[in-house]
Structure 1
Amino acid sequence: MRYHIIIPGRPVPKGRPRLGKNGNVYTPRKTREYETFVGWKTREVIKEPLVGDVAMDIKVYIKSQCGDLDNLEKAILDGMNGIAYKDDKQVTVLAIRRLRDKSERVEIELWEVAE
């Protein structure tokens, strides 16, 4: 079975970990909020995490430049972790593209890979 997930709005690349005043390392708030949003949109489509190897095709639609593609991919995969799959190390096939469009969004096609 193939799943199609749409994350509306401007994609947010994974931010670098920050060092807090108390010496703790934390993920920037904007990144955490986007990953949570990705998780909620994923839950609307996938009810139980997939257990086998997973393939993903990610299309990132943006109006203008929006961070490095690898940082966008990391925020998306981390947001889906534990929801679409148990762990992102299950992703064995990954394609990601950045496309220009006035309607900013991320479209993800996801499916289990037959062994």
Structure 2
Amino acid sequence: MSTADARRLGINLSGNKSKPSASAKTSRTKCSRLPANDTQTDPCEFHIDLPHDPKPKERPRTVLDLGAVSSAFVQAKGNLNAFLELVGKGRSRTYTPKSTAEYEKLISVAAASAMKSRRPMECAISVEMTFILKGDPETWPISNKSGDIDNLSKAVLDALNGIVFIDDRLVVETICRKTHGERSRLKVRASEARPTQPGFETS
């Protein structure tokens, strides 16, 4: 069979390297995104009875490092401008508020227990979170003290990072609910994101 006949029939003869089609190039480009797995990964699901209502993620706090300020004062030797310049050079530190750190630790411990020594998931992740605040189930938790749902979910995702999934960039879907109940609780379910899940759209 001649090369011309092979090309006409769409056959690639040994030794003849055909150029990749545009669709093939596009396919390889799309592979830079994490594809949905064909195998199902066991979900991680847990409930926590909380000693308080679910907490929103607090912003990191930045304070002056008093030790560094004292050192700058000594180095400046009474020169105000030198002192101010030294203070402005990294003489502060940033930390996570204690209440946020303790709350995230509580979630991390529960998540680690639910994972049962499994390695963190490395696929695309869907996370469902239900925040139950103590109150009348017939009413919605929308007071100023209830926290906004973005910061409530942020605290949970940060607590799961490195335990339930290797990196929070893998989270492609979050489903959050905030409601009232008889006691303060947090419900979390992290599972592999599937294209067939309700609400998945390709258009």
Q: Using structure 1 for the length normalisation, give the TM-score.
A: 0.92
SS at match of 1:20: strand
Task: Name which of 37, 40, 49 aligns with 2:109.
Answer: 40
For the residues of structure 1 that align with 2:63 and 2:107, how far apart are their CA atoms? Answer: 25
* Larger proportion of helix: 2
Aligned to 1:70: 150
| Residue 68 of structure 1, CA deviation | 1.0
Structure with higher RCO (Cα < 8 A, 6+ apart): 1
Give the number of the structure whose alpha-carbon radius of gyration is greater: 2
Aligned residues: 115
- Equivalent positions of 1:95-114 (< 5 A) are 95-114=175-194
Q: Any stretches of 5+ residues in structure 1 without a counterpart? A: none
1:34-88 deviation per Cα after TM superposition (whole angstroms, max 9, x unaligned): 1111100000111320011111111110025421111110000001110000111
Equivalent AA in structure 2 for residue 90 of structure 1: L
* Larger proportion of strand: 1
Aligned to 1:51: 122
For the residues of structure 2 that align with 1:109 and 1:96, how far apart are their CA atoms? Answer: 11
For the residues of structure 1 that align with 2:114 and 2:162, how far apart are their CA atoms? Answer: 14
Q: Is the 8 A contact 2:44 2:111 kept in 1?
A: no
SS at match of 1:38: helix
What CA RMSD, in Å, does the superposition of the two structures yield over aligned residues? 1.4
1:82 aligns with 2:162: yes
Aligned to 1:3: 44
For the residues of structure 1 that align with 2:190 and 2:157, how far apart are their CA atoms? Answer: 11
1:16 aligns with 2:96: no
Q: Any stretches of 5+ residues in structure 2 without a counterpart? A: 1-41, 66-91, 135-140, 196-203
1:93 aligns with 2:173: yes
Percent identical residues: 30
| Residue 3 of structure 1, CA deviation | 2.4
| Residue 113 of structure 1, CA deviation | 2.2
Which 4+ runs in 1 deviate beyond 3 A?
Answer: none
Equivalent AA in structure 2 for residue 5 of structure 1: F
Q: Using structure 2 for the length normalisation, give the TM-score.
A: 0.54
| Residue 5 of structure 1, CA deviation | 1.2
